[in-house]
Amino acid sequence: MDSQKKIMNEPQAMWLIIITLMVINFIFYKFRIGGPDMLTLVGDLFPVISSLFAVGALIRITFYLKTWDLTKTAWLLLAFGIFCWFLGECSFAVTELALGRTPGVPSLADGFWLCGIFPIITALILFIYGYQRTGFLIGHTSKYIFVISAIAMLEIVLIARIGMPILYTPNLSVLEKVVSLVYPALDMVILMLVFFLVLITSVLGKGLLSKPWKFLVIGFALIAVADILYSFYNWLGAYSTGSYIDMMWNSGYLFIALSAFYQKDLMEKY
């Protein structure tokens, strides 16, 4: 019945949630409503809520894909990776809110983050591998070489600006040094895979198939850039919960959730 027709579809509803959460997040960060304690509370709870959205949406997609194939494996790995990151966000929030201290490096949150990044990297590789098997155009090889070169140069800059100073900081343990260096290095891998997916989705143009991947790319790009900025500011001692970097993480998670909503929407059409 027309009167029972949905006001908006699921991706549109998710857009509304993203905009609402980001506006609320921005207002708290900009105007510091409720003082430092409220800022810490909001800064710790928003990543938990945002990553929970992503986990929920990704798990739903894995149930929606009935046959166990490359596609289901890739989405399942993403769901598992983001679930680990969600646990990392929860552990960070609990440490800061309940125990009243900022987790150092390495912390339990770092452990969850490292557990999550490998399935995520594998999932992104599976998407690229799956696309390569389709026989569709992949674009000019020169563009891929350019991406690899640009990432390699960025990696060199990061090693020089962050890696070397961390390595030669005398009061850091070996474990602290390793974890601090692994973060930006693995983020660079994610960023490179994300750029490959950008090239692929640009070939797909405005086709419906490209939509879920486009938002996945935006989500992971935001998270990877936020991680790199975090490494830099944290090393300078200029990072604290409630920084605008947090908004990049939060919106990254929400865009990953959005991509899962678009994936379900796409599959429902066929």
Give the Cα separation of 189 and 154 in Å (integer): 11
Q: Quick one: which of 203, 229, 233, 234 contacts another protein (CB under 8 A)? A: 203
Nearer to another protein, 210 or 243 (CB): 210
Check residue 210 for interaction with another protein (CB under 8 A): yes
DSSP 170: T
Check residue 205 for interaction with another protein (CB under 8 A): yes
Footprint (CB under 8 A) of another protein, residues 111-170: 127, 130-131, 133-137
Measure CA of the first residue to CA of the last residue in the chain; give whole Å.
22
Burial class of 253 by CB neighbour count within 10 A (0 to 12, 13 to 18, 19+): buried
Please list, in sequence order, all residues whose beta carbon lies within 8 angstroms of the beta carbon of residue 269, skipping any fewer than 6 positions away: 208
Q: Quick one: which of 22, 52, 56, 71 contacts another protein (CB under 8 A)? A: 71
Contact string (CB under 8 A) for another protein, positions 229-268, x = contact: -------------------------------------xx-
Shortest Cβ 68–another protein spacing (Å)? 9
Q: Quick one: which of 17, 41, 52, 65 contacts another protein (CB under 8 A)? A: 65
Rounding to the nearest 10 degrees, give the CA dihedral for residues 190, 194, 197, 199.
-130
Nearer to another protein, 143 or 177 (CB): 143
Q: How many residues bind another protein (CB under 8 A)?
A: 28
Q: What's the angle, vertex CA 166, arms to CA 162 and CA 171, rounded to 5?
A: 155
Please list, in sequence order, all residues whose beta carbon lies within 8 angstroms of the beta carbon of residue 266, skipping any fewer than 6 positions away: 208, 209, 211, 212
Which residue ranges make up the site for another protein (CB under 8 A)? 65-67, 69-72, 74, 127, 130-131, 133-137, 203-210, 212, 266-267, 270
